[in-house]
Structure 1
């Protein structure tokens, strides 16, 4: 691991278990947890190959798999991956640091049509590794593939820095919204959902 992700350094030891239980309870209560997956599903062809980067306990990747896509989910936290495997069989769930992502070494050499980075993942990577995360995810996209990334703007990762890091990773800014249900982005927005595309 390149450095300690904020997911570990900023939380208590029992945070992962709390997070898993939180989403299990929300699902049991009938909460709508599929917003990110609906957006990505609308942007790809049927049977697309999709990377769920920072997949957590698997809610987004599982929904995409249920919609007929081939999903590989990756997270740095083994506890979250174990929960994804238990709750959502079907996709392939892997433990890996996004800043050092090399899926070919883990038996997944084929490029992806799309990737999704949801759940404020960019705010939980190790400090200073944000450019590497974007570069490593971009490297796993096929030419003309895209990544959709959402995070809160109060999470300590300035949007101007994110945009600069995306350009350095060779990704082209295509769209930006204020929510996963495509509400227009404005200066007063507290959340950003950005679509970035790898050039042909």
Structure 2
């Protein structure tokens, strides 16, 4: 485990074996026929066909895999090698890479072409190392085409305040376009316990 990954809340806020538990949980949900594609459905409506999409904090790959099934080219990135190994086994079509979002530079991995969109699902922003949120958003934005879109979802009760997130969005050079209470676009309300925010990299 890298020094950087030890600092992430994915590690500090969970116990030993959490990564494998997470893998097993989503494999079980898939086997039971649970709907795990809601985030991908939303992102698919935001981009043209055959777009190039960055799944940032991809976990076990469920979102990126669904986007790939819709004909998009997907590169998934996560700091946890256990999750990336599971993604490679369960969903071999996209490309999955171990990388820290706060230091994200995909050129060295042969991915120099910019992306049309990025998605950060599964509470990614609340699991990165505390204090790195602005840098994570900047590094994701740096990999987008001008006018590229970013979809971010996380629980509002997980220690990362929306006011801080909105300030970090501005510092990353992104523009807030829409906010919803769920991935299926329920209207935003101030007491919602989850926020889905659509951002844009200005042209």
Q: Specify the TM-score bucket, using the shorter chain as the normaliser.
A: over 0.9
- Aligned position for 1:43: 46
2:139 is aligned with 1:136: yes
- Report deviation, 1:143: 0.2
- Report deviation, 1:135: 0.4
2:89 is aligned with 1:86: yes
SS at match of 1:195: strand
Question: TM-score of the superposition, structure 1-length normalised?
Answer: 0.99
- Report deviation, 1:2: 4.2
Q: Which of 156, 160, 182 does residue 159 from structure 2 map onto? A: 156
Matches for 1:1-200 after TM superposition, within 5 Å: 2=4, 4-200=7-203
Q: How many residues align?
A: 200
Question: TM-score of the superposition, structure 2-length normalised?
Answer: 0.97
- Report deviation, 1:183: 0.6
Please, which runs of 5 or more residues in structure 1 have no aligned partner? none
The answer to whether the 8 Å contact 1:177/1:183 transfers is: yes
- The CA deviation string for residues 158-181 of structure 1, in whole angstroms up to 9 with x for no partner, is 000000000000000100000000
SS at match of 1:149: strand
RMSD over aligned Cα atoms: 0.8
- Report deviation, 1:72: 0.2
